[in-house]
C-alpha cells in the first residue's frame, strides 16, 4: 500500500474496524477490531495515491466509477466510520492541501452571474423528475424537514416544516408572498392553500417551472399562484412576505450583499422575510470537492459569520434566528433509504453510475450533518423593528392552529370517503 495512505488510515481509524484490500490482494486492517466493521477493495494502485492526497474528492469519484468497492457495509458505513473518528484524530495537514487551495480560490468557484447560475441549477435539477418522486415526499420538498416529534415520518416532517415557516412569516389576509427558489412549487402552493394569499414563485430550473405550473392548475390554484423563470436579481415589485428555502446555498459568497439588498428592495416597509439555508456551526470553509464538481456546482454552505455582515449592510433587521440541529440528518436518512429502495428504477432511468454517485452524495451529506457541524439556519428579517410581536408566542399559536385545521380537514376527508 502507498505509505502515506497507510499512515493516514492508521492515524484516523481508532474506533471500529476498517479492512482495506488493495489491487494486488493484500489486506490491511485499521481500528480496534470492534463494531462497526467496514471492508473495502481498491481496484487499482493509482487510487491509493489519489485518496491519500485528495480524499474528499477521490473517495467519491472512485466509488462512483466502481474503482472503490464495498466488500462489507455500504458507502454510508465507510463515511460514517471515518468521520466519527476524525474528531479525535483529525486528518494530517498534507491530506488537506487540496481543500486549503480550494478555500483560497473559492470566490472564483462561486462567481455566479445569472447565466452561470442557470447552468448550475440545470446541472442538478433539470433531470428526469421521476427520480425525485422516488425518494422525496409527495410535495417534492427538497430541503430539510422539521421533526417536532422524534418518531415523525418524512411526509409529516415536511408538512411540519411548511407550518413552521408559515408561522414565522406571520401571514395575514391579502398579503402578497414571494418564494425565491420555489423549486417544484410545493411550498408556494401550500402557503396559498393555507392562507388564501397570492404567491409568486421564481426558479431558474425549466423542469421545476413546468412541474410547478402544471401542479398549480391541477390543484385549482392557478389564479392565486404564479411561477416564473427569473433570477432574483431581475425581479421587480413589492411583497408583504418573502421566503427562500434551500436556495441561498446557490447564491455564492461573492453575492451575499446583493442578495440581501434585493430582499430589502423587494420587501414592503412592514414586510417579513424568512431565509432557510444550510450553514456551518463552525468557521468558513470550502465546499466539499465531490459535491462542488458533481452535485452542486457553484454552491457553498456558509458560516453564520459570513451571512450576518451582509444582512447588516443591507439595512434589514434580524428578528429571529433558529438553528435546526440533526433535522437534516434525519431527512437525508429518509431520502437515502428511499433512494436505495428504488435503486432498480433509478438505474433504469439514469444508469448504475448515477445511482452510485447519488448514494455517495446522500450518504456523505447525512454524515456531514451528524459529524461535521452542518446545521440549518432559519433567519427572520424585517425592515422595521416594530413589525412583529416582541415574543415568539405567535409562532407557536399559528402552528397549533394549522395543525388543528389539517386535522379537521383529514377527519372530513375520511368521513367523505367512508360515505362514498
Catalytic residue IDs:
367
The neighbour count for residue 52, using CB atoms within 10 Å, is 21
- Nearest-angstrom CA–CA distance, 127 and 106: 27
What is the SS3 assignment for 324?
strand
Nearest to 302 by CA among 266, 257, 335: 257
C-alpha dist (Å) from residue 262 to 51, 97, 232, 314? 42, 37, 7, 9
One DSSP character per residue, 89-116 reads SPPPGGGGHHHHHHHHTHHHHT---HHH
Cell of 206: 425549466
Asked if 202 and 227 count as a contact pair (C-beta separation under 8 A), the reply is: yes
What is the SS3 assignment for 274?
strand
Largest separation between any pair of C-alpha atoms in the chain: 73
- Nearest-angstrom CA–CA distance, 157 and 206: 27
Cell of 2: 502507498
Q: Which residues of 319-354 are buried (b: 16+ CB within 10 A; e: fewer)?
A: beebebeebbbbbbbbbbeebbebeeebeeeeeeee
Cell of 13: 481509524
- Nearest-angstrom CA–CA distance, 133 and 124: 15
Cell of 76: 454510508
One DSSP character per residue, 179-208 reads EET-TTSHHHHHHHHHH--EEEEEES-HHH
Amino acid at each position: 500500500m502507498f505509505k502515506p495512505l497507510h499512515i493516514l488510515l492508521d492515524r484516523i481509524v481508532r474506533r471500529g474496524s476498517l479492512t482495506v484490500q488493495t489491487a494486488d490482494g493484500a489486506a490491511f486492517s485499521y481500528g480496534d477490531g470492534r463494531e462497526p466493521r467496514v471492508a473495502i477493495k481498491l481496484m487499482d494502485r493509482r487510487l491509493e495515491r489519489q485518496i491519500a492526497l485528495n480524499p474528499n474528492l477521490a473517495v467519491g469519484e472512485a466509488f462512483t466509477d466502481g474503482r472503490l468497492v464495498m466488500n462489507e457495509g455500504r458507502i454510508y458505513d465507510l463515511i460514517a466510520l471515518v468521520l466519527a473518528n476524525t474528531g479525535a484524530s483529525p486528518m494530517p495537514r498534507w491530506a488537506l492541501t487540496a481543500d486549503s487551495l480550494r478555500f483560497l480560490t473559492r470566490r472564483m468557484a462561486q462567481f455566479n452571474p445569472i447565466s452561470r447560475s442557470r447552468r448550475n441549477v440545470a446541472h442538478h435539477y433539470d433531470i428526469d423528475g421521476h427520480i425525485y418522486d422516488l425518494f422525496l415526499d409527495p410535495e417534492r420538498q427538497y430541503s430539510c424537514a422539521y421533526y417536532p416529534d422524534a418518531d415523525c415520518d418524512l411526509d409529516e416532517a415536511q408538512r411540519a416544516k411548511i407550518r413552521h415557516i408559515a408561522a414565522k412569516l406571520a401571514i395575514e389576509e391579502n398579503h402578497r408572498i414571494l418564494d425565491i427558489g420555489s423549486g417544484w412549487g410545493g411550498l408556494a402552493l401550500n402557503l396559498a392553500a393555507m392562507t388564501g394569499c397570492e404567491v409568486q414563485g421564481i426558479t431558474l430550473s425549466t423542469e421545476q417551472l413546468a412541474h410547478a405550473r402544471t401542479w398549480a392548475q391541477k390543484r385549482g390554484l392557478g389564479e392565486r399562484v404564479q411561477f416564473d423563470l427569473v433570477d432574483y436579481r431581475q425581479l421587480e415589485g413589492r411583497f408583504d412576505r418573502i421566503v427562500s428555502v434551500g436556495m441561498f446555498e446557490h447564491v455564492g459568497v461573492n453575492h451575499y450583499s446583493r442578495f440581501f439588498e434585493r430582499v430589502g428592495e423587494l420587501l414592503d416597509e412592514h414586510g417579513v422575510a424568512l431565509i432557510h439555508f444550510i450553514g456551518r456551526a463552525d468557521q468558513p470553509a470550502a465546499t466539499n470537492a465531490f459535491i462542488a464538481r458533481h452535485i452542486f456546482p457553484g454552491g457553498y454552505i456558509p458560516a453564520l459569520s459570513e451571512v450576518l455582515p451582509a444582512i447588516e449592510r443591507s439595512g434589514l433587521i434580524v428578528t429571529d434566528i433558529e438553528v435546526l440541529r440533526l433535522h437534516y440528518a434525519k431527512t437525508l436518512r429518509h431520502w437515502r433509504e428511499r433512494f436505495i429502495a428504488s435503486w432498480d428504477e433509478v438505474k433504469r432511468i439514469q444508469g448504475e453510475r448515477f445511482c452510485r454517485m447519488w448514494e455517495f452524495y446522500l450518504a456523505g451529506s447525512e454524515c456531514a450533518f451528524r459529524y461535521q457541524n452542518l446545521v440549518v439556519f432559519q433567519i427572520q428579517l424585517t425592515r422595521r423593528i416594530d413589525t412583529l410581536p416582541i415574543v415568539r408566542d405567535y409562532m407557536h399559536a399559528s402552528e397549533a392552529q394549522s395543525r388543528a385545521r389539517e386535522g379537521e380537514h383529514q377527519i372530513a376527508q375520511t368521513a367523505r370517503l367512508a360515505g362514498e
